[in-house]
């Protein structure tokens, strides 16, 4: 499919714009509007709020309303990212993670617009890490399967679109309560009335939303197409993350105990879905600072 050149002055649509990642992207877009040639930013979220297009992307009627707005760049962050919720509500996960993505990708292609879709490392099983963009996909839960279906629909609509896979995210732009990794760890650390047993088996690569936003802007500047990976470099577990946060905040952590097997969950999680970022670095993305440095700056800054 031929991709029409974008005009110099653009209107950018960000779905999920009030979320942990979406809010970070909106903030960076606003700071770089002039250099990017963006005249306006349309912000979408599910629940009504001033300054936002409040639409339910699981509904075809609301998707059609979104398509009526004038935009020529769409950054699609809205998703159901909770594997357990996706397992409980597979039809809703399919509607939001796959069908909404397909609709936006087709709409963008028809109007000659450019789309960046935020995907996930959960398109991999975690059985054969590390993974490049060319590694075979083999998701083990509904979340990963619906996000992978979104990727395929995106690139079927236009090979000029771009998917950015990301892992375990953290950030505070939308409020620390919206960052489960940080908020959950701090709550457990501050409650020394009982022991907390945290997974010390499943490997995570915590990734700062600000670094992902930088990657999105880079992809937008380069009009990159295809699939890219964006990830932090530090190999952590939920247990080691909580212990590190305790050290940084000088909170006692003797009641934080390691769990030597994955915690029981409704949906299976990959044990190590490490995604490599060489392709993104070749495009110009910088290796992020260590996780400990990022966390200290965020929590003490």
Neighbours of 20 (CB within 10 A): 25
Alpha helices in the chain (DSSP H): 20-31, 33-36, 60-68, 83-88, 90-93, 100-110, 142-157, 180-190, 209-222, 238-249, 278-283, 291-300
Two structure tokens written together for 262: 């994955």
pLDDT per residue, tens digit, the chain (301 aa), is 334 444 454 899 999 999 999 999 999 999 999 999 899 999 999 999 999 999 999 999 999 999 999 999 999 999 999 999 999 999 999 999 999 999 999 999 999 999 999 999 999 999 999 999 999 999 999 999 999 999 999 999 999 999 999 999 999 888 888 888 899 999 999 999 999 999 999 999 999 999 999 999 999 999 999 999 999 999 999 999 999 999 999 999 999 999 998 888 999 999 999 999 999 999 999 999 999 999 999 887 6
Residue 241: closest CA among 182, 164, 288: 182
Angstrom distance (rounded) from CA 34 to CA 247 = 41
Cα(281)–Cα(170) distance, integer angstroms: 21
Q: Which two tokens stand for residue 263?
A: 């915690």
The answer to whether residues 129 and 274 touch, using CB atoms and an 8 Å cutoff, is yes
- What pLDDT is attached to residue 76? 98
| The pLDDT of residue 301 | 67
Helical H runs in 55-141? 60-68, 83-88, 90-93, 100-110
Q: How many domains does the chain have?
A: 1
Residue 176: predicted pLDDT: 85
In a domain, 94, yes or no: yes
Identify the bridge partners of residue 15 per DSSP, sorted by sequence position. Answer: 76
The CA-CA-CA angle for residues 156, 158, 161, to 5°, reads: 110
What was the pLDDT predicted at 191? Answer: 96
Q: Is residue 301 part of a domain?
A: no
CATH number of the domain at 88, please: 3.40.50.720
Is pTM, for the whole model, over 0.85?
A: yes
Q: Structural domain of residue 78, as residue ranges? A: 10-171+206-233+270-289
The confidence score (pLDDT) of residue 1 equals 35
Residues 6+ apart with CB under 8 A from 117: 76, 101, 105, 150, 151, 154, 161, 162, 163, 164
Q: Is residue 294 part of a domain?
A: no
Is the previous residue joined to 130 through a cis bond, with omega within 30 degrees of 0?
Answer: yes
Q: Which residue has tokens 């732009």?
A: 173
Per-residue pLDDT at 226: 98
Q: Does residue 132 fall inside a structural domain?
A: yes
User: Has residue 90 been placed in a domain?
Assistant: yes
Q: Is residue 155 part of a domain?
A: yes
Helix axes of 60-68 and 100-110: crossing angle, nearest 10 degrees = 30
> Does residue 177 fall inside a structural domain?
no
SS3 content of the chain, % helix, strand, coil (to 5): 40, 15, 40
**78 phi and psi, to 5 degrees?**
-65, 130
Q: Which residues contact 194 (CB under 8 A, 6 or more apart)?
A: 255
> Is 62 inside any structural domain?
yes
The closest alpha carbon to 266, from 79, 86, 80, belongs to: 86
């Amino acid at each position: 499919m031929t991709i029409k050149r974008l005009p110099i002055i653009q209107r950018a649509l960000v779905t999920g714009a009030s979320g942990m990642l979406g809010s970070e992207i909106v903030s960076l877009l606003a700071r770089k509007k002039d250099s990017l040639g963006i005249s306006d930013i349309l912000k979408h979220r599910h629940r009504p709020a001033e300054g936002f297009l409040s639409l339910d992307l699981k509904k075809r009627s609301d998707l059609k309303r979104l398509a009526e707005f004038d935009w020529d760049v769409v950054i699609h962050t809205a998703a159901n990212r909770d594997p357990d919720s996706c397992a409980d509500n597979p039809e809703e996960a399919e509607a939001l993670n796959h069908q909404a993505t397909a609709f936006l990708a087709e709409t963008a292609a028809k109007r000659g617009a450019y789309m960046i879709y935020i995907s996930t490392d959960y398109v991999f099983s975690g059985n054969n890490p590390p993974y490049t963009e060319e590694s075979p996909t083999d998701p083990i839960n509904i979340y990963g399967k619906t996000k992978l279906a979104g990727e395929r629909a995106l690139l079927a609509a236009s090979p000029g679109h771009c998917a950015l896979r990301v892992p375990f995210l953290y950030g505070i732009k939308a409020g620390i309560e919206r960052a489960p990794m940080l908020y959950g760890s701090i709550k457990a650390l501050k409650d020394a009335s009982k022991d907390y047993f945290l997974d010390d088996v499943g490997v995570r690569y915590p990734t700062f939303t600000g670094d992902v936003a930088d990657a999105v802007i880079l992809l937008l500047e380069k009009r990159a197409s295809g699939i890219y990976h964006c990830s932090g470099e530090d190999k952590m577990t939920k247990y080691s993350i909580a212990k590190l946060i305790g050290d940084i905040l000088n909170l006692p952590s003797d009641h934080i105990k390691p769990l030597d097997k994955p915690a029981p969950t409704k949906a299976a999680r990959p044990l190590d879905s490490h995604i490599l970022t060489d392709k993104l670095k070749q495009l110009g993305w910088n290796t992020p600072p260590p996780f400990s440095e990022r966390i200290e700056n965020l929590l003490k800054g």
